[in-house]
A and B are shown apart, each in its own frame.
Chain A
Amino acid sequence: MKAKIQVVLCKCCTEIPSVLRLESLSKLASESNNVMSVMTVDAICDGKQLAPVMNDVKQKELDRAVVLACHKKDVSPTLLRAYRRAGVNEFMVELVNIREEVVLPHANEPERAQAKAEAKLRAALARSLMLQPLERQTEEMKTRNVVIIGAGVAGQAAAKEAAKAGAHTVVLEKSGKTLKVPGVVMQHSTLVGAEGYGGNLKLKIRAGEKVESLDAAALVIATGGGWTQLKGSLAKAVKDAVPLYKLNEQVQVDAPIKGPVVVVDSPDPSGKTMAVQDFAWDETLETVVELKKKHPETEIWVVFQEMRAFGLSELVYKEAADAGIKFIRYDKGGVPKADPKNPGVLSVRDFSQGEQLNIRFGTLAFASIPANPDNRLIAEVLRIPMAADGGIRRGSIQRWPVSTPRPGVFVCGSALFPKSREAAEAEGEAAGAMASAFVKRGTIEFGGVVAEVEQEKCSACLTCVRTCPYEAPFIGAAGKAEIRIQACQGCGMCVGICPSKAIELRNYTDDQIMIETRTLLGGDF
């Protein structure tokens, strides 16, 4: 069937005609192949002006359109819906941003702008002829479960928030601790397998001795921080050191604390791998001040490489100093050490005074907590990226602030990187809310601009499988790559890297991109 194109030129009120001669664009369009109709409108974003355009489409039974207007994101949803109602597939509408790409930046050179606009129109017409109608599809979510891994601060907050929004929550807790959170709590359970995609995930969970399967629509990773012991040479000497949050808990519940108390910034001060985390400073200050208030007689030392008290924490720092808490700065030349023969003494060189200090302590606490080693297993099972320090890496901030690159899989709290209780709780709530919102949609929408494998060409080299951030390509039963379109986000990364050129991105095929390039290069401006 012969393609029938409608060309719409938008004046954008008066902006576009002030630089371009629309009549010559209109003439160029009407003289081009397959163009059945050319319309000029004052402002396509005005709903009232859509009606005559769509009537024209219906009358002439047009099947595609080229619209010269402004930025795609500003016009597209309404315009595309209108075209869809008029019987034109929305993927057959080629939007050309004539306003921001030509008129505004080249207003001082109207002749060049005119030539550029004409080249852009030609390119769009050439591309339009090669477009394919595409359909988006939907799939029901089989369950409304939100599975939360970890029942720490972030995990509990996520469960509460998700339940508040009506999602059914399942909390996986590694330990046997009893919890008061909504939904089901599976004790002694860990995630050992996952298949599928956000919306319809099939999880394998080891609960005690058994391995159970569980369907989930969304997943929240809230594994929290990692080891809670000292590392390196300090660990050999001091066996009973506690992480800062434990010390904080003891202070909160008025448990007896053996003085003097020393807080070190890192559990492995001589190690190179571990950076001190930003929350450590604030949390340390608050904890020691509270401890000093409750037990003024306790001697308290804070041994840090540097103390960065942000914002109002500066006041807490001052309060701590006034209360007689001693701050000792050290550097790489004199890291805190303890002698196994004399484990109750921490020896450190005071950087500012240059003196070697031997601090006798009753309790040793460390502020930073490294990433949770469980993250590796979970990231491996879910095939999601990790940060170099062992935390789960989040996806683009543009998408969601608490998301992994995989849709439907969220992450919060210290699983990302260690952070304070408040921040972890806030992130947990955010992840819970995001997960329940995701689940409440009830369906997964997919398709449209997605990758497609031409299997005869595929060499099954696995390059696409390794490159895709979304786990969309896989090697199917035929021994050739296939695309799981429910997971495909339409970025085209696999298409650009396929060594056998066996994958194409619908409506962004090599031919379509290259004809656009070629036509644009044909213009002289």
Chain B
Amino acid sequence: MIVAKRKPLGEIVEMLAPYQKITVIGCRSCVAICLAGGEKEVKMLVSALKIKNRKEGRKQQIDGFVVERQCEKEWVKEVEERILDSDVTLSMACSLGAQTIGDMYPKHLTFPGLNTGMFGVPEEQGVWSEKCIGCGNCIIHTTGGICPIARCAKSMLNGPCGGSANGKCEVNLEVDCAWVAIYDRLKLQNRLDLIENFTPAKDWSTSHSGGRRIYVREDAKLSQHQKKGKEAVQ
């Protein structure tokens, strides 16, 4: 899932300072699960901002609520009035949610309340780790199910490099060497021969480097005939 964490409150306070009416919108999906932007966090943030205002004698009207999935227009549409009624919306969803609101109401100000970090896995309660960077061309069947692109500091396809020592990475001695993990896993699976294979440079055209990526599934798209309301008009 997408893992995010709340921006430092000082930054948020500063961002919102010039505005009078503020709407804070959380999301019940990924960011609720990674404990960054669910209803609890929204309520705590609203309360904290009000305390700050109480301290500084600033008058702001702050309101907070959550939507099911902020990255989908239909859910955002349900709270349209409350968004447009405010001077600024603070999105407590990942950047996708904030941008969805921003795209839907381009004149309206939408600010991010969270720093969106990564695709991560909850290793245990309260700990998330990155395991994928979304390169668009998965190869983990050849690397024992461990992604070297996300987990190796150099995203090496043929590792480990000379900087791997005692299972740790030279970039940061706290970080495990992904290629040692791959070696161990392949050994466990009796597929160590794979590590001998030379993997040529990967096709990176599927990755982020070409600007925004758009995936389309033609069969899933609504045809012109199926569209309703104003979307039907081209």
Contact = CB atoms under 8 A, between A and B. Distances in A.
Asked whether any CB of A lies within 8 Å of a CB of B in the complex, the reply is: yes
A13 interface: no
Given A463-B35, A498-B40, A500-B66, 10 more contacts: A459-B28, A459-B29, A459-B32, A459-B33, A459-B38, A461-B33, A499-B35, A499-B38, A499-B40, A501-B38
Interface of B: 28-29, 32-33, 35, 38-41, 43, 66, 125
15 contacts: A461-B33, A461-B35, A463-B35, A466-B125, A467-B125, A499-B35, A499-B39, A499-B40, A499-B41, A500-B28, A500-B32, A500-B39, A500-B40, A500-B66, A501-B40
Nearest to A499: B38
Nearest to A502: B39
Contacts of A467: 125
A107 B186 CA distance: 75
Nearest to B66: A500
Nearest to B43: A501
Contacts of A500: 28, 32, 38-40, 66
Contacts of B43: 501
Nearest to B28: A459
B201 to A, nearest CB: 39
Interface size class of A (residues with CB under 8 A): 10 to 19
- Secondary structure at chain A's binding surface: helix, strand, loop or mixed? loop
Contacts of A498: 40
Nearest to A466: B125
A457 interface: yes
Nearest to B42: A501
Contacts of B39: 457, 499-502
A460 B41 CA distance: 16
B33 A499 contact: yes
Contacts of A459: 28-29, 32-33, 38
The 7 residue pairs across chains A and B that have the minimum distance between CB atoms: A499-B38, A461-B33, A501-B39, A459-B32, A466-B125, A500-B38, A499-B40
A236 B33 CA distance: 50
A463 B39 CA distance: 14
A501 B26 CA distance: 12
Nearest to A461: B33
**Residue picked from A457, A498, A500, most chain B C-beta under 10 Å:** A500
Contact of A463 (B29, B41, B66, B125): B125
Contacts of B125: 463, 466-467
A227 B125 CA distance: 32
A498 B39 CA distance: 9
Contact of B28 (A457, A463, A466): A457
A460 B43 CA distance: 19
A464 to B, nearest CB: 11
A466 B28 CA distance: 19
Contacts of A466: 125
A281 to B, nearest CB: 38
A409 to B, nearest CB: 23
A501 B33 CA distance: 12
Interface string A49-91: 0000000000000000000000000000000000000000000
